[in-house]
Amino acid sequence: MSKMKESAKLHRGDFKELMPKNIDTSIVDLVIVDPPQEEGFEWPELLEECGRILNPGHSLFIHVKPHLIDLVLGLNFQARLNYKWLCILEAWHNDYNQHHNIRPQFLPWMWFTKGESRREPVTMFDDWGVTEVPWVEDTPRRTKALKAAYEPIFCTTNPLDIVCDPLMGRGTVGVVAIKMGRRFLGIEQDETEYAVAVERIQKAATEERGENGIVLS
């Protein structure tokens, strides 16, 4: 696959099979992924493929719960990735916490780069959290999911760059990427989740660009 012209390409199936077949080496500008938080998950395969598809100097942000951080750190050299930083995002909006007596939870995102980073942590985090997410969802939790995707896209990519989520679920990363003028590659195995992602990303593409521009497989 050459540098893509479409708004998005969405694939349904197993990332281990579809990434080697459908995504060329060193074509993606940012990977954001939230894998199942289990030790038995295919962490080596995921990191290896993320490292392969990334352009040199570009970034992977991966959600990893604390009990799995050492496991993932032990795999980053095998995947040709450099560990840069552990980024923390609050999982619930403060107003929601105060009015519903909910203890805040935090989402740790590990930041890796392929080779030397185009941006160093000090300069990148000058931009982190500066701009409010310009969209809201119907619940604070879903709005926070938008923010979790918005921050790394805003801080590490440019318009028309390619963002990939190989475990895209319901397509939140794709929605944010399209709304921010980026292109998106997504993979999801679950049929129901894939259908929701397709609908949401098609809607975002139509709203932002006046046309669909989505390729499905």
Task: Say whether pLDDT at 90 is over 60.
Answer: no
- 2: pLDDT strictly greater than 50: no
Instruction: In whole angstroms, give the CA distance from residue 215 to residue 217.
Output: 7
Between 130 and 187, name the one with better pLDDT. 187
Largest interatomic CA distance in the chain: 50
The pLDDT, as a whole number, for residue 163 is 97
Please give the helix or strand (H or E) that residue 132 lies within, else none.
none
- Kindly list the domain boundaries of the chain, sorted by start residue: 8-216
**What is the C-alpha separation between 114 and 179, in angstroms, rounded?**
26
Q: Which pLDDT score, from 0 to 100, does residue 209 have?
A: 72
* Kind plus residue range of the DSSP H or E element containing 77: none
More confident residue, 207 or 106: 207
Q: What pLDDT, on a 0 to 100 scale, did the predictor assign at position 136?
A: 58
Residue 177 has pLDDT above 90, yes or no: yes
Among 111-125, 154-168, 190-204, which is the least confidently predicted range? 111-125
For 106, residues 6+ apart whose C-beta sits below 8 A from its C-beta are: 88, 89, 90, 91
CATH number, span 8-216:
3.40.50.150
pLDDT tens-place string over residues 108-158: 888 999 987 766 654 555 555 555 666 656 555 666 677 778 888 988 899
Confidence (pTM): 0.85
